[in-house]
Amino acid sequence: MRNSALILIGLLFAFQSAIAKAKPTPTPSVSPTDTTIATDSVTPTPTPVKKAHWIPWPPIREEARTITFSVNGAYYDDGDRRGSSFSFVDIKAIRKIDEYFVTGEGSIRFLSATSTTDDAKQIDLRTAKVTLAENWFSASVGRMDVSEMLTTTRFFGRYPLMGLRRVTGACLYLPVKFLVGIEDYRNVSSPPTALTFWYLPNIFGDTTANVSGTQSLFLAQARARFKVSKIQTVLLINYGKSKSDFFNYSSINGNGTFSTAAEFTVANNYTAYGEFGIQNTSMTSGTSAFTYGVSLKRLGTFGPFSIDDLIFEMQVPVSKDLNNPFTGGDAVFPELAVLPQSALYIKLKARIRGIFVEADITNNQNDFTFADLNRLNTNSINLPLPLGPGYESDSTQIPFRSNSYDKYAMLIRVGIQF
């Protein structure tokens, strides 16, 4: 009898809840008709609108997306007369932010060496990302380019990610106030500070990577942007921790990895920047480096010739360790070990009318990246190498290095965008 009464009360409660849910709520419904929506209400009081029991997904429309193409020819020389040339086409599709505040991006690269064959030597899926944005957060998942978020440098840097630009994972961005106190209701514009979190299942090459979580890296960033006099300043502090220890001298070390970066911009076009990173916080000596540089944008137009971007960047190893395989060290064959040296990167991006001409020069040896591993310094024949690409230019995003510190590699690109 008692059980029956309880069941009856439960059924009544469920029925009442169902009726309550069926009642129209005063929440205004979001109409999926167009990207620009106007409500009928003039007063702040929302008018009761019957909530639709099913809302369709946004229609597929031509104006809801942007597709850009980049067609390029390039010449590459590593400084030892081993020149090669190739062509590549980038296709990037962006889903514009829709009525549900959802956006997405996908980009593909087709690369073919200069030859008579039509086959693409390389097809890359460079980004494939879905983003949900709200007024107080944005969340992304998929393959994404994190270089602009993680650092202020253009070529070197990104030490917690071993120099990687593109990773696959999830990202959460929250604009927050770091100062604790009573918030002034009048001042509710977004604060100049924010927190960003990344969860990356792995940062290795695809033949080594798995998503079991053992290779995962968790990253957190505190970001601040403020103005001092006429200097626009950006400060970043990154901290990461991996679940397991794969390489003591890498950021996947089971302990922690850290970097801090800053950027100072004057008149929107002239920027000085830098990043200091420690790839293993428990082994500061041997895993830390500093990058600094200057970027000059929109320098001028002379007839049909325009100078769009000029960059000087230098990477300086703060501490050196002959056992670090990511900086030329070799604990297996010590006689082969070398110490890291400072490396330079220069970029000139110009334009002849609408044709981009870019020249990149560096004596980079891929220090502090996965690309510096080899069979000898890892003493492994099972490890699929390379574990990751080396440093890439921010515009071409093609990894390139010189043959030695004494020689300069060169990458020249000519291309158009439409």
The contact set with other proteins (CB under 8 A) reads 28, 30, 35-39, 41-42, 44-46, 64, 66, 94, 96-99, 101, 103, 105, 129, 131, 133-138, 140, 144-145, 148-149, 171, 173, 175, 186-194, 223-227, 232, 268
Nearer CB in complex with other proteins: 272/346: 272
Nearer CB in complex with other proteins: 25/39: 39
Encode 92-130 in three state secondary structure: EEEECCCCCCEEEEEEEEEEEECCCCCCCCEEEEEEEEE
Nearer CB in complex with other proteins: 270/312: 270
CB of 396 to other proteins, least distance (A): 18
CB of 56 to other proteins, least distance (A): 18
CB of 351 to other proteins, least distance (A): 18
Paired with 345 in beta bridges are: 313, 362
Nearer CB in complex with other proteins: 134/406: 134
CB of 365 to other proteins, least distance (A): 30
Nearer CB in complex with other proteins: 198/246: 198
First to last CA, the chain: 77
Nearer CB in complex with other proteins: 25/379: 25
The answer to whether 37 and 43 have CB atoms below 8 angstroms apart is no
CA distance 313 to 274: 9
Q: What is the CA radius of gyration of the chain?
A: 26
- What stretches of 229-330 adopt beta strand conformation (E)? 231-242, 257-266, 270-278, 288-302, 305-317
The answer to whether 148 and 187 have CB atoms below 8 angstroms apart is no
Nearer CB in complex with other proteins: 54/185: 185
196: number of Cβ within 10 Å:
20
CB of 138 to other proteins, least distance (A): 5
Name 68's Cβ contacts closer than 8 Å, sequence gap at least 6. Answer: 91, 92, 94, 417, 418
38: number of Cβ within 10 Å:
7
CB of 49 to other proteins, least distance (A): 11
The answer to whether 129 and 140 have CB atoms below 8 angstroms apart is yes
Tokens representing 234 are: 């950006």
Q: Provide the Cα torsion 153, 275, 411, 108; round to 10°.
A: -50
Paired with 371 in beta bridges are: none
CB of 127 to other proteins, least distance (A): 8
Nearer CB in complex with other proteins: 262/346: 262
Nearer CB in complex with other proteins: 44/300: 44
Nearer CB in complex with other proteins: 175/254: 175
> In the block, which residue shows the tokens 């809840």?
17
Nearer CB in complex with other proteins: 146/283: 146
CB of 32 to other proteins, least distance (A): 12
Strands 305-317 and 288-302, by their bridges, are antiparallel
Query: What are the angstrom distances between the C-alpha of 178 and each of 33, 152, 223, 226, 413?
Result: 39, 21, 10, 13, 43
- Burial pattern 56-76, b for ≥16 Cβ within 10 A else e, equals eebeeeeebeeeeebebebeb
CB of 380 to other proteins, least distance (A): 37
The answer to whether 244 and 255 have CB atoms below 8 angstroms apart is no
CB of 106 to other proteins, least distance (A): 12
CB of 105 to other proteins, least distance (A): 6
